[in-house]
Amino acid sequence: MNFLLLSVGTRNKVVQYFRKAFNKVGDVIATDASPLAPALYEADRHYVVPRITDAGYIDKILDICKVEKISGVLSLIDPELSLLAENKEKFAQIGVTVIGSSYELCEMSLDKRLMFKWLSEHGYNCAKTYTDLKSLSSAVAEGEVSFPVFVKPARGSASIAISKAYDTQTVELLMNHDKDLIAQEFLNGQEIGADVYIDLISHEVVSIFTKKKLVMRAGETDKAVSFKDEKLFCLIERFVKEAGFTGQIDIDIFEIDGEYYISEVNPRFGGGYPHAYECGCDHMNLILNNLQGIANEKNIGAYSEGICMMKYNEVMISEK
Ligand SMILES: Nc1ncnc2c1ncn2[C@@H]1O[C@H](COP(=O)(O)OP(=O)(O)O)[C@@H](O)[C@H]1O
Ligand SMILES: [Mg+2]
């Protein structure tokens, strides 16, 4: 039983963890568009493939699945999640399970406007979101929101082009310059990350790991500490089940005065997942069980509190 990881980039640890889980049953194959993606070289075998926007991309991945006798596949980058979900059937026809959420949920997770709409319609705490200057100005005038506000791209990632704006002039300058920006109520609180696995067979939330983010760097959690709160676990479970996510997801949450606000979802392994794994939340093994037809037992919060993660740089040396 072999597993395929797409667009591995610098996610070396994720490849290593999959190899550990699949050690006895098969190989882990990795792909990336660049031969300089270090995580490629952690896999049993790897392929340098066209970019995901290339017309022949999916066919190339399907070919690799056939040649390598792949049972399950997932991607580690946002723009590829919808593409995989869209082609789920093609993979199923050759016996490959796509580990991921539905096309609609991948699209909703990518678009902060759609996510806000869903969250507010379903009664979840979230940052009030304004998609244009007019609605923001009237909300400010009515006292619904006040400065500072948080401005970011509606379909952004990796914290690119985010800003905290303290006045109308700044928001106007930003939003007039780029129509795809949104303005949000500034959430002033503790940032939290959750790594969640939703069983592919039972559709139950079987594992949740939560951490307080201590230091952020270049859009990623640089230092964090594990913690547990039953209230948060219940909220995550309710949200994930109501929305219908499946497989691995990563959720950004804010805590303000004891209340939790859902900020965004990445329906994939997040950059901070090694923290969860090293604390005992082995989601690769949950995936392996599912691929073998075994439903996982619910085991939420199976880790210790107060365990810190500190990221640091590594280098890989290879011949060209
Ligand atoms: N409404 C907000 N209030 C305060 N900080 C925010 C808000 N939205 C985002 N941020 C900060 O910006 C970072 C990136 O925003 P996010 O919505 O997670 O976008 P992405 O990760 O897709 O770039 C977050 O991790 C958080 O630190
Ligand atoms: Mg984020």
Q: Residue 62 has what pLDDT?
A: 98
Q: 253 C-alpha vs ligand 2 centroid, how far in Å?
A: 9
Q: Where are the domains of the chain?
A: 2-98, 128-185, 188-310
Dist CA 170 CA 253 (whole Å):
26
> Given strand 181-185, what is the order of strands in its sheet?
129-130, 181-185, 149-153, 163-165
CATH dotted code for 188-310: 3.30.470.20
- Identify the CATH class of 128-185: alpha beta
Tokens of 10: 């610098």
To 5 degrees, how large is the angle CA 262–CA 265–CA 266? 160
To test the ligand 1 pocket, which listed residue (252, 256, 262, 268) has its Cβ within 8 A of the most ligand atoms? 252
Verify whether ligand 1 is closer than 6 Å to residue 162 (CB atom): yes
For residue 48, give Cα distances in angstroms to 9, 119, 223, 316: 11, 38, 32, 17
Q: 28 C-alpha vs ligand 1 centroid, how far in Å?
A: 33
Q: Residue 240 has what pLDDT?
A: 98
Domain 2-98 = CATH 1.10.472.50 = no
Note the residue count of the chain. 320
Ligand nearest to the CA of 263: 1
Q: Residue 173 has what pLDDT?
A: 96
Q: Residue 218 has what pLDDT?
A: 84
Verify whether ligand 1 is closer than 6 Å to residue 219 (CB atom): yes
Per-residue pLDDT of the chain (320 residues; tens, 9 = 90+): 999 999 999 999 999 999 999 999 999 999 999 999 999 999 999 999 999 999 999 999 999 999 999 999 999 999 999 999 999 999 999 999 999 999 999 999 999 999 999 999 999 999 999 999 999 999 999 999 999 999 999 999 888 999 999 999 999 999 999 999 999 999 999 999 999 999 999 999 999 999 999 999 988 899 999 999 999 999 999 999 999 999 999 999 999 999 999 999 999 999 999 999 999 999 999 999 999 999 999 999 999 999 999 999 999 998 88
User: Atom 9, ligand 1: which residue's CA is nearest?
Assistant: 150
- 110, 129, 123, 121: which is closest to 235 by C-alpha? 123
Q: Residue 256 has what pLDDT?
A: 98
Dist CA 84 CA 180 (whole Å):
25
Verify whether ligand 1 is closer than 6 Å to residue 127 (CB atom): yes
Q: Report which ligand 1 atom has the smallest distance to the Cα of 112.
A: 17
